[in-house]
Amino acid sequence: MKKRLIARILLPMIALAALSGCSSIEPWVKPYERDRLADPIMFLDMNPVSSSYIYHVYEAREGARGGEGTAGGGCGCN
């Protein structure tokens, strides 16, 4: 009985509360406050063709890979 109560009433209530919590999150940086973030110098990847190449160089010269950017297949680097 107790388990059924939890399954049928409490769980949906918790789920609803969680969902309503998500929908009520107000963006604390308003769109009209993003002029600085929209400046090209603030782009995380300002030049994709260049960053893709340099990450490929790092992957070829070091034993680590991933987590920084993306690189293509193949090697050509021994």
Partner 1 sequence: MTRTARQLLMATFGRRGREAADVSRTQGFLACFCRVSPVFEPSSLRHWIRRERTSSDSKSSCRKLFAVLALLGLSQAAFASVLPEDRTDFLYHRYDGGGVTIDGPSVLVRKSVGKSVSLSANYYVDMVSSASIDVITTASPYTEERTQYSLSADYLRGNTTMSMGYTNSVESDFDANTYSLSLAQDMFGSLTTLTLSYAYGDDTVRRSDDPTFFRDNTRQTYGIGLTQILTRNMITALNVEVITDEGFLNNPYRSVRYFDPDSPVGYSFEPELYPRTRTTNAVGIRAKYFLPYRAALEAQYRYFIDTWDIESHTGSISYIHPWRDFTFTAKYRYHDQTGAHFFRDLFARSEATNFRGRDKELSPLRSSTVKLSAAYEFISDGWNFIDKGTVNVSLDYLQVDYKEFRDMSTGNPLGSEPFYALDATVLQVFFSFWY
CB 68 within 8 A of CB 52: no
The residues, ordered by sequence, that sit 6+ positions from 59 with a Cβ below 8 Å of its Cβ are 65, 71
**CA–CA gap between residue 75 and residue 77 (Å, rounded):** 5
Query: Can residue 76 be called a binding residue for partner 1 (CB under 8 A)?
Result: yes
Q: Which stretch binds partner 1 (CB under 8 A): 3-11, 12-20, 69-77?
A: 69-77
Question: C-beta of 2: minimal distance to partner 1 in Å?
Answer: 36
Interface residues with partner 1 (CB under 8 A) are 25-44, 46-50, 52-54, 57-58, 60-68, 72-78
